[in-house]
Amino acid sequence: METEKKYASVHYAKYLQLDKVMGAQHLRSVELGKPAHDEMLFIIIHQVYELWFKQIVHELVSVAEMFDTDKVEERNIGISVSRFDRVIEIQRVMIDQVRVLETMTPLDFLDFRNFLIPASGFQSFQFRKMELLLGLKKQDRLTYNQKPYSSVFSDSEQKELEAMENGLSLTDLIEKWLERTPFLELDGFNFLDEYRKAVKNMHDKEKASIRETSFISEEERAIRLKMLAGTESYFDEVFDEKKHIEAQESGSIKMSYKATIAALLINLYRDEPILRMPYELLRKLVDVDETFTTWRYRHAQMVLRMLGKKTGTGGSSGHDYLKSTTEKHHVFRDLHNISTLLIPRSELPVLPDKLKRELGFYITSKK
């Protein structure tokens, strides 16, 4: 009997609970006796966003669970890359959805906008969960109406958000995973020492090239040498752990010294087979961060188009607030900044044969 019930046929509409989904659009304008045609579009667009948010949260939680261990299984790195790929594709759809919403004109929106007060996208619980899962910290957030961002939620929701804030985010878990990278110092090969030599060699060549060229003026030569000196000082932070810690304390850097060095090694030696998937993982994190930034910016531009300088229905400054979040609410900025530290492949320190074998895939056979 149980087997029959388990494999019984199910109807499409019942499986998707379409009666609930299709019956979830209640137009305030109709309820208040002033029907506004475009309110239906407004509701559906935002309901779809919430469904996408739910799926993204589902993917992020699964990745966090795989990394919340002292030893991450190699195959789980590949699975995580695939799930971040899905998140990125969803984000792109979210960005494209703004175009659908923009088929509604500012005048169309004004037909029902006042009926929405004080409802606001700031009250999206799932969006806040996404931010926390990725690693956006309370101290790094822009203030919303001079109140904690969580103040718009119920007591139970605030407790859930607080628990997430106090737990480990993907930023924390990825940092711990990077800190466990085993190839930073092995069998006499000290990556940082060799990298330091390679950087010095690269900069010496650049200085010589600037000094010797006859195609620039003395004034421009001096400017270029000064700029190069500035780049050298940035590299010094990598070579000096104390300076890195000071930068962390000031808030200009979030990721630990050891994790930064590991991320640098992975980026530089990405072509080695075993480092290929870790590199893809770091690249996907940058893509997720960048695509969320694009969505925030696109959303801000849409609000400017619809409202101009008007305040948001939730009481924020509207466009100005949303635009500011595109610059402030980066999560993986330190992974973006690794590009500053990259050097040409031709300057890379040569790996010892044993280490190169360990970073590759090879088969040994016994005779």
pLDDT band per the 50, 70, 90 thresholds, residue 240: confident
Mean per-residue pLDDT, 93-105: 95
Place of tokens 């990721």: 255
pLDDT band per the 50, 70, 90 thresholds, residue 311: low
Q: Would you tell me how many other CB atoms lie within 10 Å of the CB of residue 196?
A: 16
pLDDT single digits (tens) 180-218: 887 666 667 788 888 988 988 888 888 999 998 888 899
> 189 forms bridges with which residues in the sheet?
186
Separation between Cα atoms, residue 120 and residue 36, nearest integer Å:
19
Q: Would you tell me how many other CB atoms lie within 10 Å of the CB of residue 300?
A: 19
DSSP state of 139: G
3-state secondary structure of 186: strand
Q: What are phi and psi of 189, to 5 degrees?
A: -100, 110
Amino acid at 350: V
> 144 forms bridges with which residues in the sheet?
147
pLDDT of residue 318: 66
Separation between Cα atoms, residue 99 and residue 90, nearest integer Å:
15
Looking at the predicted structure, is the pLDDT value of residue 365 above 50?
A: no
Q: Looking at the whole model, is its pTM more than 0.85?
A: yes
Separation between Cα atoms, residue 213 and residue 207, nearest integer Å:
10
CA 200 remoteness from chain centre: 32
The set of residues, in sequence order, having a beta carbon less than 8 Å from that of 228 and lying 6+ positions away, is 203, 206, 207, 210
Looking at the predicted structure, is the pLDDT value of residue 328 above 80?
A: no
Q: Would you tell me how many other CB atoms lie within 10 Å of the CB of residue 308?
A: 10
Return mean pLDDT, the chain.
88
Separation between Cα atoms, residue 213 and residue 23, nearest integer Å:
72
pLDDT of residue 366: 41
Spans of all domains in the chain: 14-358
Query: Do residues 275 and 264 lie in contact, with contact meaning Cβ atoms separated by under 8 Å?
Result: no
Looking at the predicted structure, is the pLDDT value of residue 104 above 70?
A: yes
Mean per-residue pLDDT, 338-360: 85
Return the CATH architecture of domain 14-358: Up-down Bundle (1.20)
| Structural element, H or E, at residue 190 | strand 189-190
Q: What is the DSSP string of 324-358?
A: HHHHH--S-HHHHHGGGG---GGGSPPPPHHHHHH
pLDDT single digits (tens) 12-26: 999 999 999 999 999
Mean per-residue pLDDT, 114-143: 88
Separation between Cα atoms, residue 39 and residue 115, nearest integer Å:
10
